[in-house]
Amino acid sequence: MSIPTIGVLALQGDVREHLAALAAADAAARPVRRPEELAGLDGLVLPGGESTTISKLAVLFGLMEPVREAIRDGLPVYGTCAGLIMLADKILDPSPGPWGPGETPSSGPETFGGIDMIVRRNAFGRQNESFEASVDVTGIEGGPVEGVFIRAPWVESVGAETRVLAEYDGHVVAVRQGNVMATSFHPELTGDHRVHELFVHTVRTGS
């Protein structure tokens, strides 16, 4: 594969930034808003935004089942922030700490799934508690990447098939299962394209 074609789910969120980062990582990037636009893709990015809104729009635009099927069929997918939530098999409500009364791993929006993990939404705090931090990511050379955390989730737990790629402040913030990877943070907002280059490498090689 020379230059892979990678779609960016363009229902809501920071779509343009991902398109630019993928282009800088030597991929042909295009927005995806309808099921037929999944055809011919070598990979797919799920951007940040608001997971409940993305979930509702995916159902409304008829994309929920086609994306799920594409993931089951082995399409490489990368999700950031809300995209990580959309790739989780199980979701917890935003409140941090131990699960509260009535709180179960099935709380939260309908997701595409694809990664065996339990994710807690908004775990790092509200919008005004957003921050940047250096994160060491397995598979990325040249030192830590700068992670932008905006109402970011974290991963509470992972299954046996899921690899932890990064942690911050004792919490899992990057994972991978097969060809599907996700980060709690936004690398597309920093000008550092190494995370996107890692994903493009996965698309090209399957590893």
| Contact of 127 with 157, CB cutoff 8 Å | no
| Contact of 5 with 40, CB cutoff 8 Å | yes
Residues 17, 18, 81, 197: which is the catalytic one?
A: 81
Is 36 assigned a catalytic role? no
The encoded tokens of residue 176 equal 């991978």
**Neighbour-count burial of 164, counting CB atoms closer than 10 A to its CB (0-12 exposed, 13-18 middle, 19+ buried):** middle
How many residues are there in the chain?
A: 207
Residues 17, 18, 156, 188: which is the catalytic one?
A: 188
Q: Is 123 helix (H, G, I), strand (E, B) or coil?
A: coil
Strand boundaries in 10-114, DSSP class E: 28-32, 43-46, 77-80, 88-92
Q: What is the largest CA-CA distance in the chain?
A: 52
Strand boundaries in the chain, DSSP class E: 5-9, 28-32, 43-46, 77-80, 88-92, 115-120, 131-135, 145-149, 154-158, 163-168, 171-177, 180-183
Instruction: Tell which residue, 30, 33, 149, has the closest CA to residue 82.
Output: 149
Is 171 assigned a catalytic role? no
Is 188 assigned a catalytic role? yes
Residues 17, 18, 186, 196: which is the catalytic one?
A: 186
**Catalytic amino acids?**
81, 186, 188
